[in-house]
Amino acid sequence: MVAELAVPDDYVAVLGELKQQIRHARYRAQRRVNAELISLYWRIGKTLDERTALPSWGEGIINRISVDLRTEFSDAKGFSPRNLRYMRSFARAWPDAERFRQQPAAELPWGHIMVLLDRLDDPADREWYASQAAAIGWSRAVLEHHIKTRARLRFDAAPTNFDRVLDPGASELAQQLTRDPYVFDFLDVDTDAVERDVEQALVDRIIDTLREFGSGFSFVGRQVAFDVDGDEFFVDLLFFHVEQLRYVVVELKVGKFKPEYAGQLGFYVALVDDRLRRPQHAPTVGLLLCTNKNDQVVRYALAGSAQPVGIASYDLLSPAEQAALPSEADLARALDAQ
């Protein structure tokens, strides 16, 4: 029987460091490959833009170029007529290659750039969504979702008291977790649904819910129970933010905000902070979501809360409005037809 090799005390730490080095090297390599690919696509697009404008070339030559490129580079993808036209649109949207390389869009995968070209006509909109996608790490699906729900128009931070009850650096970080309003247009519930129906629908569509809350959120539980000397209390929704290392308590209310809601939320924040927070965690924060609110009432309620809480509204679509929206299959067919 072969004796097991003795493992040094610091083996696990060294192994962890090596794993991190490998991951970072892979990430850097992927970024370099992506940068080269995007640069290539821009150069191809620029050439096509210049040539197809000439009478001797014309629009139809793209199909011939596609056939010849795919014949020469049979092991490569991306030279379909449709993709070549995307490259041309890409070069037209960012005509200055040097300037483009300094912009957030240059860090994005090609699929993200296709979405920006498809869904947005305004250059300022493209830059805003590109910068958010690059900074936060939005997937292509998340980028499409935020464009569809007009995130640029609604991504105001929710009113909070974080600047008063948290340290300056901590309050700025916590504020980044909020927005106002939230759009739960993926929920199949009536606009007059009760809180429990909305909670359950959010949990049933948890991937979409996390997408709307933003990068870094992980779901802990619904109706999380706490026993306080024989009295039971239930937190509607509990999340943990894996980047900021903090719990986020979310309470849902159907109807207009009432001042007592802030007190209830503050109680739950204090409870989670005491029972679940560990020394390495940032302070727990709370977020109350309601379908309507008076901003002045919110301001007074926040001033009276000793716990870090924020108040935001959320929107639902009626069944008729949901039915009027194109399905994902419809959108995919429309995209493929271009």
**Domain-located, residue 27:** yes
More confident residue, 190 or 242: 242
Both 28 and 141 in one domain: the answer is yes
Range of the domain at 145: 11-151
Both 94 and 108 in one domain: the answer is yes
**Domain-located, residue 145:** yes
Q: What Cα–Cα distance (Å) separates residue 131 from each residue in 23, 137, 206? A: 24, 10, 25
Find the length of the chain: 338
Task: Please answer whether residues 105 and 93 qualify as being in contact, where contact means their C-beta atoms are separated by less than 8 angstroms.
Answer: no
Mean pLDDT over residues 1-25, rounded? Answer: 79
Residue 323's pLDDT is: 44
Residue that the structure tokens 């860090």 belong to:
107
Residue 118's pLDDT is: 92
Residue 338's pLDDT is: 39
**Domain-located, residue 1:** no
Both 179 and 93 in one domain: the answer is no
CATH number of the domain encompassing residue 173? 3.40.1350.10
pLDDT band at 101 (very low <50, low <70, confident <90, very high): confident
**Domain-located, residue 287:** yes
130-184 pLDDT tens trace: 988 887 677 787 788 788 877 777 666 788 988 888 987 788 888 888 877 787 7
Q: Is it true that the peptide bond before 283 is cis, omega within 30 degrees of 0? A: no
Both 173 and 313 in one domain: the answer is yes
Angstrom distance (rounded) from CA 278 to CA 225: 18
Residue 115, pLDDT > 60, answer yes
In the 8-state DSSP scheme, what is residue 180?
B
Q: Which of 111, 132, 151 is the endpoint of a domain?
A: 151
Both 145 and 225 in one domain: the answer is no
Both 201 and 122 in one domain: the answer is no
Both 135 and 224 in one domain: the answer is no
Both 205 and 263 in one domain: the answer is yes
Indicate the number of domains in the chain. 2
**Domain-located, residue 107:** yes
Mean pLDDT over residues 248-260, rounded? Answer: 90
Angstrom distance (rounded) from CA 196 to CA 234: 12
Task: Please answer whether residues 311 and 302 qualify as being in contact, where contact means their C-beta atoms are separated by less than 8 angstroms.
Answer: yes
Q: Hey, what's the torsion of the CAs at 39, 45, 46, 48, to 10 degrees?
A: 150
Q: Which of 125, 151, 177 is the endpoint of a domain?
A: 151
Residue 207, pLDDT > 90, answer no
